[in-house]
Amino acid sequence: MPIGTVDDSLKLDNSEKRFTDTMTQSSLTVSTSDPLSPALAGLPIPRTHWRHKHLLGLEDLSAEEITYLLDCAEALHRATNQGRTKLDLLRGRTIANLFFENSTRTKNSFSLAAKRLGADTVEFSSSGSSVAKGETFIDTAKTIEAMIVDAVVVRHSSPGTPHLLAKHLNCSVLNAGDGPHEHPTQGLLDILTIRQHRGSLAGLTVALVGDIAHSRTARSNIWGLLKLGAKVIVCGPATLVSKNWEKLGVEVEHNLDKILHRCDVLNLLRIQFERQAIRPFPSVHEYMLLYAMNKERIERSKEDILIMAPGPINRGVELTPEVADGPHSVILEQVTNGIAIRMAALWLMLNAQSPTQATAS
Ligand code: CP
């Protein structure tokens, strides 16, 4: 898939069909032999064969695969003593972080996750690299791969970039955010955080609020949440939340105050000013009046509502500081869960088995 071809924000022509296909995939093969490393023996991880070499998006994973990934993340979190100790599950392997866009959470947590599993890391940022001398994206990626890396984690402003790399490289590719398309590990860590608080996603109502149009986090959350049985509402100004989203199976609402009482979780998405050619609302102040979570809106919400944000947050725009730092907020838990999810993602993708291997064992 060449860079830019996923740009049509929803890919609505065939996404419904692919979504249905994913929902009807059969369960993972369960093996009687244990493919897990001895370091994880005895942990409550189901003995399944992981078949995906790449993590490109949650659209591609079944409900069983997402659940397995979440279970692995929790097991690895426990096995590393909440991240205080290291395992050697990826000793001798090298992970390259290829970031062509800024990042604080994703880049550092992928790096920490790799190190906690015993891998070496290569940290590449486009700024300060030979990209400035005219080296192409593919040449850059192939150059990094030639340093004998086993996986690349890529973030890029162009949708489809990880898919392109998966075609050109031999190693595993993990999507760390491709433009407004998908951000699968963010979706997974959001879902893990909800599961930890509520036990299950089934039957919960989760609202994604804000800049849905430009949000890769929204897309990954929608795929994952729907597959695990949650109801999803997308809410924001009509200029940022098109009616077309209904085709993905979500409810569209433009008035936050109308849905507040029904929501178990609010995930407040950042207004991505940097991806907008024209400001989609008259003023930031007006947006804040209509959509910012504040103390008064918390009082009109369910008593146990979870307030989430993928970050970075614009304090005072998507939510007020008293809500961001208040008792309902799980924003920093999301960050902590990012390391566990990324450990699981790296470990699984680097131990993917082809269907032939799975059958043989
Ligand atoms: N949520 C997220 O992707 O944050 P970063 O841009 O800091 O990685």
d(CA 334, CA 329): 10
pLDDT of residue 274: 72
pLDDT of residue 10: 37
Confidence of residue 358 (pLDDT cuts 50, 70, 90): low
pLDDT tens profile 204-248: 999 999 999 999 999 999 999 999 999 999 999 999 999 999 999
Q: What percent of the chain has pLDDT over 70?
A: 83
d(CA 185, CA 98): 15
Ligand 1 centroid to Cα of residue 275, in Å, is 15
Report residue 47 as tokens.
Answer: 């003995």
pLDDT of residue 352: 86
pLDDT of residue 5: 39
What number is the average pLDDT over the span 35-61? 72
Contact 348, 48 (CB under 8 A): no
Contact 294, 319 (CB under 8 A): yes
pLDDT surpassing 90 at residue 271:
no
pLDDT of residue 49: 75
- Distance, CA of 84 to chain centre: 24
Query: What rounded mean pLDDT belongs to the chain?
Result: 86
* Start-to-end C-alpha separation, the chain: 33
pLDDT of residue 41: 56
pLDDT surpassing 90 at residue 275:
no
From the alpha carbon of 183, which atom of ligand 1 is closest? 3
Cβ 237 under 6 angstroms from ligand 1: no
Cβ 186 under 6 angstroms from ligand 1: yes
Contact 55, 3 (CB under 8 A): no
Contact 101, 162 (CB under 8 A): no
The best mutation among 104, 108, 178 to test binding of ligand 1, ranked by most ligand atoms within 8 Å of the C-beta, falls on 104
pLDDT tens profile 27-47: 333 233 334 555 565 554 555
Check: pTM over 0.85? Answer yes or no.
yes
Cβ 106 under 6 angstroms from ligand 1: yes
Element (H, E) at 17: helix 12-23
d(CA 64, CA 228): 9
pLDDT of residue 21: 29
Cβ 357 under 6 angstroms from ligand 1: no
- If one counts every other C-beta atom within 10 angstroms of the C-beta of residue 163, the result is 21
From the alpha carbon of 176, which atom of ligand 1 is closest? 3
pLDDT of residue 282: 72
pLDDT surpassing 90 at residue 272:
no
Cβ 200 under 6 angstroms from ligand 1: no
Ligand 1 centroid to Cα of residue 286, in Å, is 26
Cβ 184 under 6 angstroms from ligand 1: no
What φ, ψ does residue 116 adopt, rounded to 5°?
A: -70, -20
Cβ 105 under 6 angstroms from ligand 1: yes
From the alpha carbon of 102, which atom of ligand 1 is closest? 6
More confident residue, 252 or 278: 252
Confidence of residue 138 (pLDDT cuts 50, 70, 90): very high
Domains detected in the chain: 12-182+338-354 (3.40.50.1370), 184-336 (3.40.50.1370)
More confident residue, 5 or 59: 59
pLDDT of residue 40: 62
From the alpha carbon of 101, which atom of ligand 1 is closest? 6
pLDDT tens profile 85-129: 899 899 999 999 999 999 999 999 999 999 999 999 999 989 889
Contact 325, 302 (CB under 8 A): no
The best mutation among 97, 103, 109, 269 to test binding of ligand 1, ranked by most ligand atoms within 8 Å of the C-beta, falls on 103
pLDDT of residue 8: 41
Ligand 1 centroid to Cα of residue 316, in Å, is 19
Cβ 337 under 6 angstroms from ligand 1: no
**What residues does 121 pair with on adjacent strands?**
95
Ligand 1 centroid to Cα of residue 177, in Å, is 9
Ligand 1 centroid to Cα of residue 36, in Å, is 30
From the alpha carbon of 310, which atom of ligand 1 is closest? 1
Cβ 216 under 6 angstroms from ligand 1: no
Helix, strand and coil content of the chain, in percent to the nearest 5, comes to: 40, 15, 45
Ligand 1 centroid to Cα of residue 152, in Å, is 17
The best mutation among 106, 188, 269 to test binding of ligand 1, ranked by most ligand atoms within 8 Å of the C-beta, falls on 106
SS3 labels along 187-220: HHHHHHHHHHHHCCCCCCEEEEEECCCCCHHHHH
Report the nearest-CA residue for atom 3 of ligand 1.
Answer: 106
Cβ 108 under 6 angstroms from ligand 1: no
What number is the average pLDDT over the span 331-355? 92
pLDDT of residue 28: 31
- If one counts every other C-beta atom within 10 angstroms of the C-beta of residue 264, the result is 20
3-state secondary structure of 118: coil
What φ, ψ does residue 114 adopt, rounded to 5°?
A: -60, -45
d(CA 197, CA 305): 10
CA distances from 252 to 209, 212, 223, 226, 242 (A): 10, 11, 15, 14, 8
- Cis bond upstream, residue 184 (ω within 30): no
From the alpha carbon of 177, which atom of ligand 1 is closest? 3
